[in-house]
Amino acid sequence: MKHIDVEKLIAKQRKEIARHDTLYHKIARPEITDHEYDRIKRELVDLESQYPEFLDKGSPTNQIGDDRNEGFDTYLHRRPMMSLDNTYNEEDLNGFEKRLQKLLGVNELIYVIEPKIDGVAISLTYEKGDLVRAVTRGDGIKGDVVTKNLKGIDYLPTHINDESCPEVIEIRGEIYMTHSEFNRINKERKKTSLDLYANPRNLAAGTIKQIDLNISDNRKLDIVLYGLGYCSSALFTYQHEFYEALKGWNMPTVEKYWMANSIIEACYIIKKLENLRDTFAYSTDGAVVKLDAIDQQRESGATSKSPRWAIAYKFAAEQAETKIQKINMQIGRTGTLTPVAELDSVFLAGSTISHATLHNEDEIKRKDIREGDSVIIEKAGDIIPAIVRVLTEKRKNETPPYIFPHKCPSCGTQTIRLSGEAARRCPNLSCPPQIRSRIEHYTSRQCMNIEGLGEAVVDQLVSKNLINNFADLYKLNINDLLSLNNFAQKSSENLIQAIESSKKCELWRFIHGLGIHHIGLTASKDLARSLQTLQTLIDANEDDLMELDGIGEIMAKSVNNFFSQYSNKKIIARLITYGMNFGNATSTQDTSYDLKGKSFVLTGTLISLTREAAIQLIENAGGRVKTSISKNTDFILVGESAGSKLTHAHKLGTKIIDEKEFHELLKN
Ligand code: IVH
């Protein structure tokens, strides 16, 4: 291959892997199995080592991903949260042992072997025995603070009541969801025709990052602890001793672990563990082999990404050959068209498989998947089976390439694919598979905030055909509501009143409620603040929009597309005739804009107002709230127990204000 071609190939693969990293870590919606991911990553590692002239520190082969999201405080881990090196064969395990023997200058090493839990990494900080913080891995250095989202795990002690507990200890572990809880939630969703979650790992990751705690309360998470992050005293000599201490403190730790005197013995144990994998409460995708002696762990140290004293052995994904009968299109709740292959049924990894996801248009093209093809499918853990490759040698000559439909198969609307996006979407607000979720979004707290119109009520209204889009809400009458379960005269009147009041809401709420792709809460507020009226927004062209603060090209295109749809225009026209009236106000509270252009970062717990209220006040006054601090931050608002952001602010010389000063600033 020419040098220039290698460089291009490496760049392309890096971009692709970075995309999969974001899908997995940030939004918990991976498109490929872990095995497929490991395969393409290994291809890149091989290329990079073959052509070291293209090595780059920023390559995803040197990163461990980043799970941080907007809306959470960040916390600097006292010790980095690293990743584990993966292996799929015994040869690599032998290599692991040889490296350690050489490094430590000893032949006999003792290992602990335990299940690798397929969940989401978490770090718990206990200070003076009290659980003060739960933090996600983030980028390994800083993570998101999710303490509140752990409240539902009632068996996790919030206090370690034991004299042996050190002053400060950071304990690492995994948040997971049991198979039974996962199945319960999906069963409920099936009843109401909602999209099903793909696997327990993704649902656990989504739940731990849930901002609306009412949702996470109904989803039961679990936790298992297996690692020592930081300990203020040298309390433990062996890894297994740490597990026993955890048990003594009533902490949930690995339910089973094994000791081995050599890697040969470890391999034997891993086989035993693989046979037991279905008996654990959590999904296990492999085994972890760790050095037992903590001083040896310390001595062997770590590479930039993972410790040298531990390694993950991943169980092989099970594969089978089958044939694609047909390619069907599923329309997700936000209008994304997902191609699904209908397969000749085949038994694989404990269940009969008759469907496999094909992800998107490009994936079909890349693998050249056609109807009638013989294919190899793979299933790892609970993930929806995927097509690994097409057996082109078995293809009949006349099979034509698959043409991805450009019209929505459900409502016939022309679909849209924005440049730079993998997904094709149906933009029709009344497209049947999208109706429920679009209305739920519209009525939710961060949009129109219509109290009493939650998922269950929307579901009944749609099932009874009383509403098909959010404009229909404003036509509902008392009798319609009285026909629903659990609705009496008073509750019906209250809901009608709440719907009526929503007509006078702030413009940003309405814009957010429209569910325009790429237009989240912040962009909705930016649009409302800059344009002031709905009509100006509808009339704005792409160039006008791109000139606005905070609005980029993709957003501008998406807004433009949305308002150019005839069916969307019709719904908006109806809403206006029903008396929707935002006036010129972006807020019903404060429109002084004294803080226009000023950026704020919040840290610690606020006492006089909630975090949400503080954000609202800042934004109403024209300011912006950012999650991380930089030299461009104007103010840092500090509450109680402020964390690392405050230290950073001191270093950067950012203006630090407390709650009293904050209120004064707003008054002025
Ligand atoms: S020990 C340096 N033990 O797997 C990290 N990790 O793929 C030491 N994991 O980031 C971690 N089960 O989130 C360890 N029994 C176990 C584990 C485990 C799952 C996760 C952990 C890690 C990831 C790497």
383 pLDDT band (50/70/90 cuts)?
low
Query: Per-residue confidence at 26, pLDDT binned at 50, 70, 90?
Result: confident
> Catalytic: which of 26, 57, 102, 116?
116
Residues near 439 by beta carbon (within 8 Å), at least 6 away in sequence: 458, 461, 462, 467, 469, 470, 473
Q: Identify the pLDDT of residue 98.
A: 96
Handedness of CA 343, 349, 352, 358 (dihedral sign): negative
**What backbone torsions phi and psi does residue 641 show, to the nearest 5 degrees?**
50, 50
State the CB neighbour count (10 A cutoff) for residue 340.
16
Distance CA 376, CA 385 (A): 10
| Domain range 599-667, CATH class | alpha beta
Report the separation in Å between the CA atom of 74 and the middle of ligand 1, taken as the mean of its atom positions. Answer: 21
pLDDT over threshold 90, residue 432: no
Task: Examine the residue annotation and report whether 116 is marked as an active-site residue of this protein.
Answer: yes
- Mean pLDDT within 540-568: 90
Using the atom order of ligand 1, give the atom closest to the CA of residue 82. Answer: 2
Indicate the top mutation candidate among 174, 254, 290 to test ligand 1's pocket, ranked by most ligand atoms within 8 A of CB. Answer: 174
Domain 432-577 class in CATH: mainly alpha
How big is the chain by its Cα radius of gyration, in Å?
Answer: 27
| Residue bearing the CA closest to ligand 1, atom 2 | 82
CA of 223 to the centre of ligand 1 (A): 13
Q: With a threshold of 0.75, does the pTM exceed it? A: no
Distance between CA 561 and CA 545 in Å, rounded? 12
Give the range with max mean pLDDT: 50-54, 415-419, 506-510. Answer: 506-510
Q: Give the least confident one: 86-100, 485-499, 520-534.
A: 520-534
CATH number of 3-62: 1.10.287.610
Q: Which of 81, 111, 116, 311 to mutate to test ligand 1, by most ligand atoms within 8 A of the CB atom?
A: 116
- Give the pLDDT confidence of 143-190 residue by residue, as tens digits: 999 999 998 899 999 999 999 999 999 999 999 999 889 889 888 877
Distance 149 CA to ligand 1 centre (A): 21
| pLDDT for residue 437 is more than 90 | no
What is the per-residue pLDDT across 306-317, written as a single tens digit (0 to 9) for each? 999 999 999 887
Residue 591, pLDDT above cutoff 70: no
**For residue 588, what pLDDT band results from cuts at 50, 70 and 90?**
very low
From 335-349, 489-503, 521-535, 654-668, the region with the lowest mean pLDDT: 654-668
Q: Is the pLDDT of residue 56 over 80?
A: yes
Domain range annotation of the chain: 3-62, 74-182+219-314, 318-394, 432-577, 599-667
**pLDDT of residue 200 exceeding 90:** no
Tell me what pLDDT residue 210 has: 80
Q: How far is the CA of 288 from the centre of ligand 1 (A)?
A: 7
pLDDT at 231: 94
Q: What is the tens place of the pLDDT at every residue in 598-634?
A: 889 998 888 777 777 788 788 777 788 887 888 889 9
Looking at ligand 1, which atom is closest to the CA of residue 120? 13
Query: Is 433's C-beta closer than 6 angstroms to any atom of ligand 1?
Result: no
The yes-or-no verdict on residue 590 having pLDDT over 70 is no
At residue 136, the pLDDT reads: 96
Instruction: Quote the ligand 1 centre to 297 CA distance (angstroms).
Output: 15
Asked if the domains at 3-62 and 432-577 fall in one CATH topology, the answer is no
Ligand 1: which residue has its CA nearest to atom 10? 83
The rounded percent of the chain whose pLDDT value lies above 90 is 52
- Select 318-394's CATH number: 2.40.50.140, 2.40.50.100, 1.10.10.10, 3.30.1330.10: 2.40.50.140
For residue 438, list its beta bridge partners.
none
Distance CA 166, CA 233 (A): 6
With CA atoms as reference, report the closest residue to 429 among 549, 571, 564: 571
Q: What number of other Cβ atoms are within 10 A of residue 308's Cβ?
A: 18
CB 364 within 8 A of CB 373: no
Lowest mean pLDDT among 68-82, 112-126, 280-294, 476-490: 68-82
Ligand 1 proximity of 83 Cβ (cutoff 6 Å): yes
Q: What's the 71 CA to ligand 1 centre distance in angstroms?
A: 26
Q: What is the mean pLDDT of residues 353-365?
A: 90
Structure tokens at 378: 């793979």
Report the atom number in ligand 1 closest to the C-alpha of 114.
15
List, for residues 103-153, the tens digit of each pLDDT value.
Answer: 999 999 999 999 999 999 999 999 999 999 999 999 999 999 999 999 889
Asked if residue 175 has its Cβ within 6 Å of ligand 1, the reply is no
Render pLDDT for 290-303 as a digit per residue (tens, 0 to 9): 999 999 999 999 98
Q: Is a pLDDT exceeding 80 seen at residue 476?
A: yes
Pocket test for ligand 1, best of 226, 243, 246, 294 (most atoms within 8 A of CB): 226
Q: What are the distances in angstroms from CA 530 to CA 181, 503, 593?
A: 45, 21, 11
What does the pLDDT read at residue 194? 66
Predicted pLDDT at 195: 67
Alpha carbon nearest to ligand 1 atom 15, residue: 116
Give me the mean pLDDT over the 322-326 stretch.
96
Q: Is the pLDDT of residue 594 over 60?
A: yes
Q: Whose CA is nearest to atom 22 of ligand 1?
A: 83
Rounded to the nearest integer, the mean pLDDT of the chain is 88
C-alpha distance from residue 661 to each of 66, 197, 608, 635, 642 (Å): 34, 45, 12, 11, 16
Per-residue pLDDT tens digits for 217-261: 588 999 999 999 999 998 999 999 999 999 999 999 998 999 999
Class of CATH domain 74-182+219-314: alpha beta
- Give the Å distances, CA to CA, from 389 to 20, 43, 321, 514: 18, 16, 10, 39
